[in-house]
Structure 1
C-alpha cells in the first residue's frame, strides 16, 4: 500500500471501484464497429506487417504496435482484440492517476475527484476503446509517474526498485509515442533541482537528502535516464531483424532522424486538423465514426467534456498561485500540464489533431481536482460547489455517452445534430 503522511484515509478501495467501473463501461461494445475505423487503419496494418517482419508506420516507435500484434497472436485478429491493449492501459492508467494524486496530495477528495474527472473527460474513455497508440502511451506514462511518486515516499532499496520500475514504464511510454517525452523529463529535473538546493556543488553524489535518501543523483539518473533510454532502444529489436531494410542497432541517431523526417512529411490538409489553442477551449472536434454500421446508425465524436475541460483552465493559474505559496502537488500538476501542452506549442509537426491533447487534458484534470479539493475543505456552500462540479462533469459524460461510445442512434442520418452545441464540432 502507498504510504502518505496524512490524517486522511487512503481511498484505495474507491480507486479500485472507479477503475473497475471504467473497465466495465469501456468494455461494453468494445468490438463495435466490427471493422477498422479512423486511425486504426495505420496501426492494425503496421501490427500485421510487424508479424510478417516487414517495415511499416516507421514514423512512430514500436511498443504500441508490438502490443497490438501480440493481442492478434494470443487472442485473435479481430476488432475486439485489437483494442484490448488500449483498454487495459486505459484502466491501469486511470488507477495509476488516482494513486499519483494520492501520493502527491495526501487528500482523499482530490484523489477520488481526479479519477472521476479523468473518467468523464471523454478523451480518456474514447482512446481506451480504439486501437491507436495514444492510450497505450498515456497508460504507461501514468504508471511511470505513480511509481516515481511512490519512490519519493521511500528510501534506500525500497525507493530504488520503485525508481527502476518508473524508468521501465517511462521507456514503454516513450517507446509507444514520443508525446510523453516532456512529462518524462520532469521527475529527473525535480530531483536535480532539490539536490542543487540542498547540496550545492555536492549535488551529484550527495545521499543525505530529504527525498530519495541513500540514493545519489547519479544513481537516480541511471534509473530515470540511462535505463529508460537503453530499454527504449531495445524495444526496436524486431526491426533489427527485418530481412529487408533492417534497422542498424548501432545507428540510433540516423534512424531517429529518418523517423522525424517521416513525421514531418505528412502535410496534406485534413478536415479535422487543429492546433493547441483550439484544443484548450474545446473548439475543434474529430469524427472517428459516423455511419450506419453493425445494424444501426453509430458515431464516435472526439471532443473534451464541455464542463471540466474549460473549468480546468481556471484551475491551472490557481495551481501556479498555490505553488508560490508552497503547494508542491499543485506545482507538479501545473508543470505536467504546461510541459505537455508546450510540446505542441513549439512543435513544427504540420498536421495536428485534438487527440494530441490527451496528455495535457489528463494533467488538467489533476489541476481541477486540486482546486475543487480546496472548495470541499472550506465546507458550506463551497463544498456544494465542489460536489456539484463533479456532478456536472458526470452529467455531461452521460449526456454525450451515445455519441462517444458507438451506441445505436435514433433519428436518421442527422441524429448527430442533437449533440452539436458548436458549429465547429460538425
Structure 2
C-alpha cells in the first residue's frame, strides 16, 4: 500500500510520522441493508415477469403438437413420466443430452398432461425465477435495490430469455442453474469477507502466515450442486464449472490480501484450493451422476448394459463398476454424435449462427412460422411467427458495455465487472474452439443474465453516487433541505430514457416473440437486419 510522510509538527531530527492515504482494511460492507424494500421490489418485478411468461403459454403449437426442438424434449419428458424415468430418441438412435432438463419438463407434464402447458410449464417457472435471481444478485453486488431493479426490468424485456421461458427446450434450465450458482458464489464472497473481518477484529489474522481458516462454506457447496444440475442439463455446464472455480479461488485470494495476510498466495493454495475443488468439481460430478438415477436403475435404458455387449468385460478398466463404464461408453457415443454435426461433414441449417454473432444477436432463431390458413390480422393474408431474438436495445450495446467493464476492471479494479465478465465469458468463449460444428443462437441464452447484469452496473455508474448539495440560505436565515446533485438528476434522466427505450423495443417485438397474427408487411417490418431473414 502506498504510504506518505506527514511532515506537520515534526521537530528537526525527529522521525517523521507515517500515514496512509487509504484504509488499511476494507470497509465492513457485506451486503445491502434495506431488506423489506428490497424484497418488495423483487416481488413486484417477479410478478410482472410471471405475467409475461405465463400469458398464453400454450400458444403457438403445430396443430397441438410441439414446435421446433420441443419435438425432441416434450416426448422424452413424457417417456420419462410413463416409462420408468428413462427416455430414448428414435430420430438419432441415442439420447443426445443429459436428463435434468427433460426431468423438469416431465414434472410439468405430470401436472397438466401431454400438452403445451405441460411441456412448457417448467420453462416458464424457471424463466420467472431467473428474473428474481438476477434482481437479487445485482442488488447484492451493487449494494443498491434500485440497480437490482434495473437488472430485473432489463431481463423481463429481453426477447431471448422471454421466448426461452415459453418453449419446452433446455436452454432456460442451464441458464437458471448457471446464474443461481453465480449468485451463490457472490453470497459466499460476502460471507468469506465477513469471517475474515471477524478474525481481524479478534486479532487472529497474524496467527498464521497463511491467514485464518474459513470453515464450512455452504453457499459454495450450493453452487456446486447447481453446477452439477447445469451439467446434468447440457454438457456446456462444464464451462461454468471451470470459470466459477477460478472465480471463487480468486475471490479468496483477493480477500486474504485485502486483510493483510502475510502470505496470501500460499494461504490461498493451502486453505482454499482444496475445498474449492471439492465443492466446485467433486460435488458437481456427484450430482451429475445422481441425475442418471433412473438410467442406472433401468433395464432398458440406452446403452445401460454396454459392458458385455458393446464393451468387453475385461481390460485395464474392469475394476470400475459396469454401470459407470456403460455410462462412459454412452457418453462417448453422445460426444461422437455432437462431434459429427459439423459443417465440413455437410451438416448445415438455415438458421445456424456462429458465436461471434451472439453478443449482438445478429442471427436469431426462427422457432415457428405459418402463413397458411392464418387469420385475425384484418387482411386476407396473415402470418404468425415465433422468433428467438434478443431485444436490440439490450443486445446491440453489448460491446460498449463489455468495453466499459474491462476499463473498470483495469482502471478501478472493480470486482463486480470481473465477476460478471467471467460468467459472460464462460457462456461465450469456449464455443470459439469448435467453430466447425453446428451452432445456434439459443446457445447464447446463457449470456443474457450476465449481459443485463453488466448493463445494470453501467446504469449505476451513469446514475452516479448519492450526493446531495445544500441549496442557498433562505430569507429567514436558515438552510433549506438538501437536494440531489445535478449530476445524479441528469444520470437518472438518462437511465429512465434508456429503460423506456428497452421497454418500447420489447413491446414492438412482442408480435414476433409470441406468434401473434400480423400482416406480411408487419412481419417484414419487424425484421430489422438482413441476417434476421
Give TM-score, length-normalised by structure 1.
0.89
Q: How does 1:154-173 map to 2 (within 5 A)?
A: 154=191, 160-173=217-230
Match among 372, 375, 390 for residue 459 of structure 2? 372
CA 1:294–1:65 in 2, change beyond 3 Å: closer, same or farther?
Answer: farther
| Larger of the two Rg values belongs to structure | 2
Match among 34, 38, 45 for residue 68 of structure 2? 38
Q: State which drifts further: 47-56 or 218-227.
A: 47-56
Match among 69, 89, 97 for residue 134 of structure 2? 97
CA shift digits 1:223-242 (9 cap, x unpaired): 22211110111101222224
Match among 120, 145, 169 for residue 108 of structure 1? 145
Q: Which residue of 2 aligns with 1:319?
A: 405
CA 1:320–1:91 in 2, change beyond 3 Å: closer, same or farther?
Answer: same
Q: Which residue of 2 aligns with 1:230?
A: 286
Q: Which residue of 2 aligns with 1:398?
A: 507
Q: State which drifts further: 393-402 or 298-307.
A: 298-307
CA 1:122–1:385 in 2, change beyond 3 Å: closer, same or farther?
Answer: same
Q: How far apart, CA to CA, are the structure 2 residues paired with 1:312 and 1:4?
A: 29
Match among 359, 366, 374 for residue 446 of structure 2? 359
Q: How far apart, CA to CA, are the structure 1 residues paired with 2:162 and 2:299?
A: 35
| Structure 2: stretches of 5+ with no match in the other structure | 1-28, 196-213, 257-263, 305-321, 377-382, 465-486
Counterpart of 2:363 in 1: which secondary structure?
A: coil
CA contact (8 A) 2:360 2:398 kept: no
Shift of 1:295: 6.3
Match among 207, 214, 218 for residue 274 of structure 2? 218
Q: Is residue 384 from structure 1 mapped to residue 509 from structure 2 by the alignment?
A: no
Match among 43, 58, 70 for residue 95 of structure 2? 58
Q: How does 1:27-426 map to 2 (within 5 A)?
A: 27-33=54-60, 34-50=64-80, 51-52=82-83, 53-56=86-89, 58-154=95-191, 160-196=217-253, 198=256, 199-206=264-271, 216-240=272-296, 241-243=298-300, 245-247=302-304, 249-251=323-325, 252-267=327-342, 268-291=347-370, 297-324=383-410, 325-348=412-435, 350-377=437-464, 378-407=487-516, 409-411=517-519, 413=520, 415-426=522-533
* Structure number with higher relative contact order (C-alpha < 8 Å, ≥ 6 residues apart): 1
Q: How far apart, CA to CA, are the structure 2 residues paired with 1:141 and 1:295?
A: 41
| Deviant stretches of 4+, over 4 Å | 6-10, 155-159, 194-197, 292-297
Give the number of the structure whose residues are more often helix, by fraction: 1
CA shift digits 1:174-232 (9 cap, x unpaired): 211123332333332123234456433343443xxxxxxxxx44234322221111011
Q: How far apart, CA to CA, are the structure 1 residues paired with 2:340 and 2:446?
A: 24
Q: Which residue of 1 aligns with 2:309?
A: none
CA contact (8 A) 2:241 2:281 kept: no
CA contact (8 A) 1:272 1:284 kept: yes
Q: How far apart, CA to CA, are the structure 1 residues paired with 2:431 and 2:302?
A: 31
Shift of 1:342: 0.1
| Structure 1: stretches of 5+ with no match in the other structure | 207-215
Shift of 1:415: 4.1
